[in-house]
């Protein structure tokens, strides 16, 4: 983890939020290279989820919604984590993490934590576990009282449920159909940690799939498969780094009747990356009850009226970014030298190619290199110019940020319009014509 955190900082992928003020626990900023990868991940998900499916519609809801939404969804009452305080040093810890269990049952946790000491001060001075609500509060309007309290959404799903009927009607959608959204969510996590793995401001990519209840098992399996395929085929993540985890009953969120997570082999171990949940008609029935609006679906063909069930596919963008970085990160020994290389899928890499003149101070080389750079820049956009230090250093620098190819312009180029193109993963170099470069890089 330290290697990845250091690379992310050093090369402009991720910075601590408000670093010059000492940062703020649980908040991170993406830098120039990080935001490129994040944008590509989101674009790929949107393409696979929305653009390539005729029956999935996108929305972009507000972060702050009417607080009744979160009362109806059960978050105000039930979006909690178990917490213990240390009576000696005042530190707070996630009780389930400390107990080394997935269970959030307070009675079970009490037993498991009986002999535990505080990990901060080492004293046996922990309180009994209690629940703690993770919703972040704010006030809407100039008066800060109970009547103006609102919440920053803890998941994007909320405005998908409240827009279910709008989307169905405006898109003339028939079951099964899905509504997808990418956006920020906020959770007042007790102990944010493991770099960007557990944060307080996160971004989610979620899709709610509305179905006839009798299709729940089939749809559940389909969306589990979607998640697995997306990670392995679209992002190129190694299957060895992924495993399934089925939630036990004492572990499931308050809305879920079944939950399967894909765990990724993060630097701190296999942990949750992507959840597929069967939310049944939990949300629509609660929103129908609290709002008083009829949310039933009428099936023309069968003349049946019912509340759809919902299969949810939910993944965090930051966790996916961390998984992509971890999966891609390799250290190799090259003739006794350590080489750090990010073996990113070329489509995800911040830069598709780096262009260099062999020698910086030879104007004829620099000019020719600039011509090649312009051709590639026009074609691909994400092309970087690198003429700093010797060629070996440039290769290492590009390896570290995952640039799949480096193109070098040398004296032969001036004679025969060929360049050296060097492959990041194999480190092999070949000589090709400038006119063949575009096709090679596509």
The residues of the shown chain that bind ligand ATP, judged by CB under 6 A, are 155, 187, 189, 198-199, 202, 204, 253, 272-275, 314-316, 318-319
> CA 231, CA 209: separation in Å to the nearest integer?
19
Whether the bond into 45 is cis, omega within 30 of 0: no
The helix (run of H) or strand (run of E) holding residue 218 is: helix 216-229
Least distance in angstroms from the C-beta of 25 to ligand ATP: 12
> CA 39, CA 8: separation in Å to the nearest integer?
16
189 token code pair? 């996590």
Least distance in angstroms from the C-beta of 324 to ligand ATP: 13
Least distance in angstroms from the C-beta of 173 to ligand ATP: 24
> CA 355, CA 380: separation in Å to the nearest integer?
13
User: Which residue, 182 or 408, is less far from ligand ATP as judged by CB?
Assistant: 182
Q: Output helix, strand, coil percentages for the chain, rounded to the nearest 5.
A: 35, 30, 35
Least distance in angstroms from the C-beta of 265 to ligand ATP: 15
Q: If DSSP codes are grouped into helix, strand and coil, which group holds residue 53? A: coil
Q: CB neighbours (10 Å) of residue 13?
A: 26
CB 167 within 8 A of CB 173: yes
Q: 178: which DSSP letter?
A: E
User: Which residue, 80 or 382, is less far from ligand ATP as judged by CB?
Assistant: 80
CA distances from 65 to 151, 161, 223, 305 (A): 7, 12, 27, 28
Angle at 65 between CA 76 and CA 63, to 5 degrees: 100
Least distance in angstroms from the C-beta of 236 to ligand ATP: 19
Q: If DSSP codes are grouped into helix, strand and coil, which group holds residue 365? A: helix
Q: How large is the greatest C-alpha to C-alpha distance in the chain, in angstroms?
A: 79
User: Which residue, 47 or 254, is less far from ligand ATP as judged by CB?
Assistant: 254
Cross-strand partners of 184: 203
Least distance in angstroms from the C-beta of 361 to ligand ATP: 47
Least distance in angstroms from the C-beta of 209 to ligand ATP: 15
> CA 412, CA 308: separation in Å to the nearest integer?
67
User: Which residue, 232 or 296, is less far from ligand ATP as judged by CB?
Assistant: 232
User: Which residue, 237 or 383, is less far from ligand ATP as judged by CB?
Assistant: 237
User: Which residue, 244 or 298, is less far from ligand ATP as judged by CB?
Assistant: 244
Least distance in angstroms from the C-beta of 141 to ligand ATP: 28
Least distance in angstroms from the C-beta of 319 to ligand ATP: 4
User: Which residue, 129 or 318, is less far from ligand ATP as judged by CB?
Assistant: 318
Cross-strand partners of 263: 243, 272
User: Which residue, 46 or 385, is less far from ligand ATP as judged by CB?
Assistant: 46
User: Which residue, 273 or 401, is less far from ligand ATP as judged by CB?
Assistant: 273
CA distances from 384 to 33, 235, 376, 418, 435 (A): 12, 22, 10, 19, 19
> CA 134, CA 117: separation in Å to the nearest integer?
24
Least distance in angstroms from the C-beta of 370 to ligand ATP: 42
Least distance in angstroms from the C-beta of 39 to ligand ATP: 18
Q: 113: which DSSP letter?
A: T
CA distances from 235 to 86, 184, 221, 337, 349 (A): 42, 22, 20, 29, 11
User: Which residue, 263 or 380, is less far from ligand ATP as judged by CB?
Assistant: 263
| Torsion sign (Cα): 146, 147, 153, 154 | positive
User: Which residue, 74 or 296, is less far from ligand ATP as judged by CB?
Assistant: 74
């Amino acid at each position: 983890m330290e290697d990845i955190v250091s690379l992310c900082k050093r090369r402009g992928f991720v910075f601590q939020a408000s670093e010059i003020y000492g940062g703020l626990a649980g908040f991170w900023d993406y830098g120039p290279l990080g935001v490129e990868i994040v944008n590509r991940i989101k674009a790929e998900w949107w393409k696979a989820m929305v653009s390539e499916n005729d029956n999935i519609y996108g929305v972009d809801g507000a972060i702050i919604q009417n607080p009744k939404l979160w009362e109806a969804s059960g978050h105000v009452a039930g979006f909690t984590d178990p917490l213990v305080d240390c009576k000696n040093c005042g530190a707070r810890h996630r009780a389930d993490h400390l107990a080394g269990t997935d269970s959030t049952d307070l009675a079970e946790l009490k037993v498991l934590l009986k002999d535990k000491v505080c990990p901060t001060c080492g004293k046996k001075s922990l309180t009994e576990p209690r629940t703690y609500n993770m919703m972040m509060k704010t006030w809407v309007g100039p008066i800060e009282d109970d009547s103006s309290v609102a919440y920053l959404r803890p998941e994007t799903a909320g405005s998908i449920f409240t827009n279910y009927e709008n989307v169905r009607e405006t898109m003339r959608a028939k079951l099964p159909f899905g509504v997808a959204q990418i956006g920020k969510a906020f959770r007042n996590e007790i102990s944010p940690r493991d770099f960007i793995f557990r944060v307080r401001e996160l971004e989610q990519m979620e899709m709610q799939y509305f179905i006839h209840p009798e299709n729940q098992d089939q749809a559940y399996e389909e969306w589990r498969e979607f998640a697995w395929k997306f990670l392995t085929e679209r992002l190129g993540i190694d299957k060895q780094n992924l495993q399934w985890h089925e939630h036990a009953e004492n572990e499931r969120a308050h809305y879920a009747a079944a939950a399967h997570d894909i765990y990724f082999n993060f630097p701190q171990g296999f942990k949750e990356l992507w959840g597929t949940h069967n939310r049944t008609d939990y949300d629509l029935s609660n929103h129908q009850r609290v709002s008083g609006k009829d949310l039933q679906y009428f099936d023309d063909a069968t003349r049946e009226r019912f509340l759809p069930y919902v299969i949810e596919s939910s993944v965090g963008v930051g966790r996916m970014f961390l998984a992509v970085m971890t999966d891609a990160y390799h250290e190799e020994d090259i003739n006794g030298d350590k080489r750090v290389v990010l073996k990113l899928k070329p489509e995800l890499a911040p830069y598709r190619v780096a262009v260099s003149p062999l020698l910086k101070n030879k104007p004829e080389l620099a000019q020719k290199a600039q011509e090649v750079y312009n051709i590639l820049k026009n074609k691909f956009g994400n092309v970087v110019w690198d003429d700093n230090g010797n060629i070996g250093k440039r290769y290492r620098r590009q390896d570290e940020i995952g640039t799949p190819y480096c193109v070098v312009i040398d004296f032969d180029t001036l004679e025969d319009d060929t360049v050296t193109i060097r492959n990041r993963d194999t480190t092999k170099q070949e000589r090709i014509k400038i006119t063949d470069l575009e096709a090679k890089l596509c």
